[in-house]
A and B are shown apart, each in its own frame.
Chain A
Amino acid sequence: MHPISRNPTRLFYQPVIGFLALAAFALLGYALWLCLHNIYLMGTKGTQFVGLQNFVRLATDWRGLQALWRTALFVALATSAEVVLGIAIALFLDKEFRGKKLVRAVILVPMIMTPVIAGLTWRFLFNAQSGMINYWLSTVGIAPVDWLGNPNVALYAVLVADIWQWTPFVVLLAMATLETIPKDLVEAARMDGASEIRVIWHVILPMLRRTLAVAALIRAIDSVKAFDLFYIMTKGGPALSTETQNLYGYTVAFTNFDISYAMTIALFLTIVTNIALLLLNRFAMPKGVR
């Protein structure tokens, strides 16, 4: 009875997706154009077409490759920690106790804090001399740790701040989904004498799968792009130990003013992430829901 299309529901998304695709490709095309030139804001030689020169430069850029590896490490650690902790906390809070409502609201505070402020706060908490964390360690007799000044530690200090800020996002999604799980199903399993761990593993987690997959993907993508915390806490130092690919791109663009090379770095990062995502989507995402 619908004259336009056999499936009118497509009209709900096609214009939106079409527009997004168009805009994305236009921007991507422009970005690619920038990559193929040598736009250098401090230059006096003018802009020329340089072909793939920027890509060749990136392929042999040791600093860039290290930054890529660091990004991968950070994303893997941050995402897995946030998802595991997030589920654990959501399950932990999924019972009746006094002040439950308040606790569940308050637990979301970190992701509400403006990242710039969160970065400054953590930078101060991790301060080796007058930071709170070393102060607490000193009260139990532990020597001050050089959190942000030691190249072997700094990345993990930023990681802690990132986990602190973004675990609540996973908690939020997990809590919302937990509410939709039919209580009688869980009760039935418990009645059958299944241990709590078995109930969680075999009954609850499978129902959380899709939510968790979405939460994990969003967190993974966002931590590829993590910027504010790094920028405020370490600016990529010490000794480049916290320079991610995204931060490197920023430095090249806004410290060195080498716009074209920065775009190349950003484009490369986008392509790599896209490939990783495609692979994930194919092999790790839960198969069709229901």
Chain B
Amino acid sequence: MSQTRSVSTGISAVMAAALVAVTAWTGGAAAQDKPFAGQRLSVLMVGHPTTDAVRKALPDFTAATGIEVDLEVVPEADSVPKMMLEFSAGSGRYDVVEASSIHIKGFVGADYIVPLDDFATKYAAFYDKADFVPSYLTPNIVDDKLYGLPLFGESSFLMYRKDLFEQYGIAVPKTFDDIEAAARTVKEKSNGEIVGITMRGQQGIQGVYIWASYLWGMGGSFLTDDGKSALDTPEAAKALDTFARVLRDYGPVGVANMGWEENRLLFQQGKAAMTLDATVNGAFNEDPSVSTVVGKVGYAPVPVQTANAKGGSSSLAVFNLNVAKASQQQEAAWLFVSWATSKQQQIHSLDTDPNSGVTSLAAMDSEAFNKRYGTFKEAMLASLANGNPQYIPTVPQANELVNNTGIAVSKVLAGTASAADALKEANELNNAALTR
């Protein structure tokens, strides 16, 4: 230590003392609270504001546990193939992966992920089961065992323009017939200026995600009780007919290639009177920096057509963190999972990278959340409570079924096949996939 200048010496002495104190404190803590210090986790996550928030807060996690985290971020569509290749090879390359709940049963069935209950009792520093929105946590439980913790989620609801509905004297739709009538009224009374309803129609999961609401709401389902495909039913055909008709007659040009983004833009630019989509869209509708319809949007539950539906018509999607079976550091992985989903981190994320998909009840009660998302919070909670986590089948072959169904939806929407024919074909393909 140099001792030439008295002032600087004083400062450095104080700093050194402080440093020693900090080191002593953290060092002392390490002995008891950091059993996994020095481990290095490899985590695969999907691009999302929540992921950004986690990335920014990683130093806190490392400071608290001594565990280092390497984060790899890819789009959702690409993350599943990546983890599947790793899982099937048992490579152990990823300790933690983020995946949609529709894959959990497949992962459990193929023995790719591990139950977390033992870790949860042993290392509960970050974990508070009661803090999770119940409908987000449930899909993670298979055979009474906990296989993951929810990171962010969403359900779906009907969004409509209150101002237009008032102007044209339209009541909030309760059935899919009501939607069609309302869409017709809007189109006629606005002389085609305003699109009646806009929904995602792109081939694949985009279209199927939305059409699933029609399927369940009309009393149909993807699978029969004994696990066969149930798409060749009159209910399914009617659901697809109705869905395609309303979009073709009163929907926007280009609907057959519209994904989430296109659909959201159209609605928030005030060009459509209704849309049926994810609850997260509420945040975009109410954000004055991107939306021209702030304060003009009403939120209502997804319609149902029949009294004896086999499942809820609003789709509940939740993304979870799971621990890989092939991981050599499952305890440390659990700590990361429970930390990233903890209420502290979720509340913190509302400051750094806000999004309405938080899964923590405490975060939902926070001031930051209410200020941003208060306008649609009630409707969101209602649709969460009624959300159908089985909106698309959760069998291991889920992706393939969605793919086949998506082709049927797209064909009918594009007018190249009738609903009954397209669904019959998808039904056969789905049955073939289910026996594979």
Q: Is B88 an interface residue (CB 8 A)?
A: yes
Contact B253 A128 (CB under 8 A): yes
Q: How many A-B residue pairs lie within 8 Å, measured between CB atoms?
A: 117
Q: Which residues of B contact A128 (CB under 8 A)?
A: 252-254, 257
Asked whether A129 and B403 contact (CB < 8 A) given A41-B84, A44-B396, the answer is no
Contact B416 A151 (CB under 8 A): yes
Q: Which residues of A contact B88 (CB under 8 A)?
A: 41, 257
Quick one: CB contact mask for B72-113 with A, threshold 8 Å, 1 for yes?
000000001100110110000000000000000010011000
Q: Of B84, B109, B203, which contacts A237 at CB under 8 A?
A: B203
Interface of A is mostly: loop
Contact B257 A239 (CB under 8 A): no
Complex: how many Å from CA A42 to CA B81? Answer: 11
Q: Is B436 an interface residue (CB 8 A)?
A: yes
Q: Is B241 an interface residue (CB 8 A)?
A: no
Instruction: List the one stretch of A81-89, A106-114, A142-150, A180-188 in contact with chain B.
Output: A142-150
Q: Is A9 an interface residue (CB 8 A)?
A: no
Contact B256 A43 (CB under 8 A): no
Within 8 A of B (CB), among A214-235: 234-235
Contact A235 B262 (CB under 8 A): no
Complex: how many Å from CA A161 to CA B82? Answer: 28
For chain B, the count of residues having a C-beta within 8 Å of the partner chain is: 40
Asked whether A150 and B396 contact (CB < 8 A) given A129-B253, A237-B257, the answer is no
Q: Is A208 an interface residue (CB 8 A)?
A: no
Within 8 A of A (CB), among B386-406: 396-397, 399-400, 403, 406
Contact B81 A254 (CB under 8 A): yes
Contact B203 A44 (CB under 8 A): no
Q: Is B410 an interface residue (CB 8 A)?
A: yes
Contact B257 A148 (CB under 8 A): yes
Q: Determine how close the nearest CB of chain A comes to the CB of B347; give it in whole angstroms.
A: 34
Q: Is B311 an interface residue (CB 8 A)?
A: no
Q: Which residues of A contact B239 (CB under 8 A)?
A: none
Asked whether A257 and B201 contact (CB < 8 A) given A237-B256, A251-B403, the answer is no
Complex: how many Å from CA A108 to CA B433? Answer: 46
Contact A238 B414 (CB under 8 A): yes
Q: Determine how close the nearest CB of chain A comes to the CB of B429; give it in whole angstroms.
A: 9
Q: Determine how close the nearest CB of chain A comes to the CB of B314; give it in whole angstroms.
A: 25
Within 8 A of A (CB), among B374-427: 396-397, 399-400, 403, 406-407, 410-411, 413-414, 416-417
Q: Determine how close the nearest CB of chain B comes to the CB of A171; give it in whole angstroms.
A: 30
Contact A42 B204 (CB under 8 A): no
Q: Is B255 an interface residue (CB 8 A)?
A: yes
Q: Determine how close the nearest CB of chain B comes to the CB of A31; give it in whole angstroms.
A: 16
Contact B254 A239 (CB under 8 A): no
For chain A, the count of residues having a C-beta within 8 Å of the partner chain is: 33
Contact A257 B399 (CB under 8 A): yes
Q: Is B58 an interface residue (CB 8 A)?
A: no
Contact A127 B254 (CB under 8 A): yes
Q: Is B181 an interface residue (CB 8 A)?
A: no
Q: Of B257, B397, B417, B436, which contacts A149 at CB under 8 A?
A: B257
Q: Is B269 an interface residue (CB 8 A)?
A: yes
Q: Is B34 an interface residue (CB 8 A)?
A: no
Contact A149 B258 (CB under 8 A): yes
Complex: how many Å from CA A241 to CA B415? Answer: 12
Complex: how many Å from CA A48 to CA B300? Answer: 51
Q: Is A204 an interface residue (CB 8 A)?
A: no
Q: Which residues of A contact B400 (CB under 8 A)?
A: 255-258
Q: Which residues of A contact B57 (CB under 8 A)?
A: none
Contact B85 A238 (CB under 8 A): no
Q: Is A40 an interface residue (CB 8 A)?
A: yes
Contact A234 B110 (CB under 8 A): no
Q: Is A125 an interface residue (CB 8 A)?
A: no
**Most B C-beta atoms less than 10 A away, residue of A129, A150, A253:** A129
Q: Of A129, A149, A258, which contacts B414 at CB under 8 A?
A: A149
From A149, which residue of chain B is reached at the shortest CB distance?
B256
Quick one: CB contact mask for B246-283 with A, threshold 8 Å, 1 for yes?
00000011111110001001100101000000000000
Q: Which residues of A contact B254 (CB under 8 A)?
A: 127-129, 144, 146-149
Complex: how many Å from CA A186 to CA B410? Answer: 55
Q: Which residues of B contact A151 (CB under 8 A)?
A: 256, 414, 416
Known contacts A42-B106, A129-B271, A238-B256, then 5 further A-B pairs from the complex at CB < 8 Å, ordered by chain A residue: A41-B110, A148-B256, A151-B256, A239-B414, A258-B400
6 contacts between A and B (CB under 8 A): A44-B396, A129-B253, A148-B257, A149-B257, A235-B203, A236-B204
A interface residues with partner B (beta carbon < 8 Å): 40-44, 127-130, 144-151, 154, 234-241, 251, 253-258
Nearest 9 A/B pairs, CB to CB: A128-B254, A237-B203, A149-B256, A254-B81, A148-B257, A238-B256, A42-B396, A256-B400, A239-B414
